[in-house]
Structure 1
């Protein structure tokens, strides 16, 4: 019996509700993926996307590998033909930048798919049964107790508001949780931070900076640690992710330990981006996550193009750390010149 006959004879298969990508779109996407299948070409795209100038000169891209100039030109032409990059000739040299309409796609490729493909990102969230080291009833009861406790500690806020914020914080963290037994203490810390943000008095509080990247597992964590260390507490640095991971990348954890110094206990964890965090910030710095932050009047916005430490070599990781530190020092000088 052929496979086709076997399928035709099945009587227990329900009608499919799938809606696959249409053939024309699939052909377009497949063409783009094929164009990016060359490792050097992918590195070129990454170099262009993370160049702090917002663009890269062909002479910079030629330094990525020991290949001939015609080979470099061929790869750049392929990238341009996909529509992912634009180019502009200025005198002798040609400059390349990510096409404005393709920035989100390139960011998703380099910041989300690439780490996952090499095993550096957190595993996909499993069904409830695979993560259930605490029962759902236990979790719900714990969340209810936590909400009641925090409402008692914040009498100036509506109990309904505190309860809603706690449950929202729990849900946001649960999406990337590895072990549910850690969810309640993490929810408490996250909710406490959010409640502080809601009650922050801009007129008297220290300047607050929010760093945002995709997974809140690399760049934004490094930037927040550096700003906290360099400011000596004069500036408050926080971080969040548009699609937070379950944990900070291992190579970044080692780097953060060096920044914090001996004897310091680090308890940072990836957190989802929230509107209240943005509204509480004086400065919001995005790092490879696109236009994910709500625009709030009175908040200053910056975008830093830096490499992703999750896919970097040891030398690359050092370079990324130094690049972020240079940005942080400039920001610190603008916020608090007497502390630099």
Structure 2
């Protein structure tokens, strides 16, 4: 077997060496960077930063991913920064972390392509809930969706399917329904990419960090009132594995359970929305001209009793009704839910 050291271009990006094994020098340069990533928490941090609408995060954001202390989180970030994976910027008293430009594409590709392949490659009786042949399934899904969205390039449709799958697979809470959820999520994203605001229905995006409580409730209530008159989306910057059990019971009563699974927040969802509503949980969305932003200070159902969840749902019900009356004055709303 022929070995070769990957030639380094003037811009610092390695040129491809397809068909050749890595040489000793290249392997020696590559190994410390991979070692700096080889920790579950560090991979989650990189994933969180990569998936963030602003492509950055501060220590306080990343500390929410773990029960470890903030100094320990800072140590992990320091390891990745010293390896060249992360860039930093101080604003006020906070340090913000982003993927270093040199590594941004490579890390994003690793998280969006390699990670779901690993997750779905472990098939057999000992892994009954994992789905085989992810690439083939995603290619088939992309072909079907490409026929629904002929104005979009096939490459973009396939990339959207892969990114949607990767984003949902990271939470690992959907199980056997992963591909069905991927199809629904990818179709929503493609609809958002092709939305023509001229004469189209109003579109609302509800956002909370985990997309497992408040935003799911608000979206379900809005759908129950508006039906097809309003396009309703929900998402979170750090999606949970599943909807909070107490919230799921309310969603079941509203009849929207099939649509209720946590989804990552994407730029295309924000850009397609007429109104973006955060839930007082500190989530930050990209600022897009022409989009209306509101922040609703609503209690967290994850911390509430059954009666507390009901009270939160009632609060959201009143807020959603007022929103719909503003967006769709001709919509006949019932007196009570």
1:266 match: 258
Match in the other structure for 2:101: none
CA distance in 2, matches of 1:174, 1:256: 23
CA distance in 1, matches of 2:270, 2:318: 23
Corresponding residue for residue 288 of structure 1 = 280
Which of 190, 195, 220 is matched with 2:190 structurally?
Answer: 195
Partner of 1:234: 229
- 1:182 maps to what in 2? 177
Partner of 1:306: 298
How high is the TM-score relative to the length of structure 2? 0.59
User: TM-score with structure 1 length normalisation?
Assistant: 0.59
Retained in 2: the 8 A contact 1:211–1:240? Answer: yes
- Provide the residue aligned with 2:216 in structure 1: 221
Contact 1:169 1:187 in 2 (8 A): yes
The residue number in structure 2 matching 1:334 is 326
Counterpart for residue 251 of structure 2 = 256
CA distance in structure 2 between the aligned counterparts of 1:148 and 1:233, rounded to whole angstroms? 27
**Is this contact kept in 1: 2:146–2:152, CA < 8 A?**
yes
Match of 2:317 among 321, 325, 328: 325
1:301 aligned counterpart, secondary structure: strand
Name the residue aligned to 2:158.
163
Q: Please, which moves more after superposition, 196-205 or 283-292?
A: 283-292
Could you say if the C-alpha distance between residues 225 and 265 of structure 1 is closer, same or farther in structure 2, counting changes exceeding 3 Å?
Answer: closer
Distance of 1:218 and 1:179 partners within structure 2: 16
Compared with structure 1, are the counterparts of its residues 272 and 297 closer, same or farther at alpha carbon in structure 2 (3 Å cutoff)? same
Q: Whose Rg is larger?
A: 1
- How many residues were matched structurally? 224
**Gap change, CA 1:231 and 1:148, over 3 Å in 2:** closer
Query: Where does 1:106-121 land on structure 2 (aligned, <5 Å)?
Result: none
| Alignment partners' CA distance in 2, 1:218 and 1:136 | 27
- Answer yes or no: is the 8 Å Cα contact 1:132–1:179 preserved in 2: no
